[in-house]
Amino acid sequence: MERINCITGQRKYKHLSERERYKIEALLEGKKTIKEIAWILRRSRSTVYREIKRGTVSRVQYDLSNKRQYRANVAQRKYQELGKHKERSLKIGKDKKLERYIRKKILKKKYSPDAIIGEIRRKGLKFEGMICTKTLYNYIDAGIFSGISNKSLWEKRKKKRGYKTISRVSRTNRLARSITERPLAAKMREEYGHWEGDCVKGPLGTKEGLLTLTERKTLEEIIIKLKRMTQKEIRKAINRLERKYGTKFRIKFKSITFDNGVEFLDWESLEISILEPGKKRTTTYFAHAYSSWERGSNEVQNRMIRRFIPKGTNIADISRQEIKRIENWMNNYPRKKLGYATAKEMAEKCLQNDSDQKLDFVAL
């Protein structure tokens, strides 16, 4: 064989394409030999021979005789069917250690796939079959992990909803400070101590609820059980926090941004210290009416709480110990926004420069 006709080593192994199959069909109709077809396609003769054998079918002619011909569409269909049944080569391979780690984090710790992979990388954990977040989602979609499906994940992708064009001015809270007056350090999440607050309510007709507070920079969460969803109970909850942190309350709670719920309308009493009467202990701001995205961090945290306390659950049936467990879980959950550090780690780091107060996340 002349060197110009030699194709050995000129190309890496690659499956025939659909276009090449139709070329083979046309070349056979043009009475080309297997050797000639292989040279034109820059393929080995054995590859072309096997392809012709695989795609050759018997056709009945007008005179009822059978004629064997290669058909590209038949060959392509067989190729695709064989590909469906081919065993998948998984990146995770036989790494049982990684599989057990992922299974524990999803089923017991209620981690998202992104939180799992992010935490592994941040901590520098080593696994033989390490995979990325997208691959883990694909494996879950394909049912690779027995007993784990999208139902095991705490949040699914949702379609974006449009917002109605309505007045954003609260007629019941016109004298309060607007969120637009909040310091730039709070808006840009540059300073620790600026919080967002809201309430998580039980079903209609029940009295008890939860006050939730989310620190904007670190995503630290505080959850307080309320006997009633009233201004008086909100004031009592903030008073308990001040008694707990004492003089450090001003460092930890520089400001709190609420929505315009009726339970927060007594904002002036929330700002006045009970330990030092007449002095301010914090500053309150209010988001625009019907603008929950302005308190986005707190809204996301409330959705996380709903994973443990679904809508329709009577909060009176939830013990303070269970609320503390939820709070601890949230403060020790790896967050993508924090580089997969936890809220507790970030809050402790921020407070090192301001006080020696140790963080003790107590559900009050």
Euclidean distance between CA atoms 172 and 305, whole angstroms:
28
pLDDT at 350: 87
Asked if residue 169 is part of any domain, the answer here is no
User: Please, which residues bridge with residue 70 across strands?
Assistant: 56
At 228-259, the pLDDT tens digits run 999 999 999 999 999 999 989 999 999 999 99
Is residue 202 scored above 80 in pLDDT? yes
Same domain, 223 and 322: yes
Strand bridging mode 209-215 / 221-226: antiparallel
Q: Of 35, 65, 85, which residue sits at a domain end?
A: 85
Q: Would you say residue 61 has pLDDT above 80?
A: no
- In this structure, the answer to whether residues 142 and 272 fall within a common structural domain is no
**237 and 344 co-located in one domain:** yes
194 with 332, same domain: the answer is: yes
Q: What is the mean pLDDT of the chain?
A: 85
Residue 337 has a pLDDT of: 92
Number of domains forming the structure of the chain:
3
Nearest residue to 17 via CA among 79, 83, 84, 82: 79
Q: Are 210 and 314 in contact (CB under 8 A)?
A: no
Instruction: List the single range of 104-108, 153-157, 166-170 with lowest mean pLDDT.
Output: 166-170
Pair (117, 255) in one structural domain: no
Q: Is residue 168 part of a domain?
A: no
- On the question of pLDDT at 155 being above 70, the answer is no
Range of the domain at 117: 96-152
**pLDDT-derived band of residue 171, with 50, 70 and 90 as boundaries?**
low
* Residues 185 and 133 both lie in one domain: no
Are 46 and 184 in a shared domain?
no
pTM tops 0.75, yes or no = no
**Alpha-helical regions (H) of 60-132:** 72-85, 96-107, 113-123
Is 231 strand, coil or helix? helix
More confident residue, 73 or 362: 73
Q: Within a domain: residue 39?
A: yes
CATH number of the domain to which 227 belongs: 3.30.420.10
* Six-digit token string for 152: 């095991």
The pLDDT-based confidence of 13 (bands split at 50, 70, 90) is low
Q: Which of 85, 111, 126 is the last residue of a domain?
A: 85
The whole-number pLDDT of residue 353 equals 64
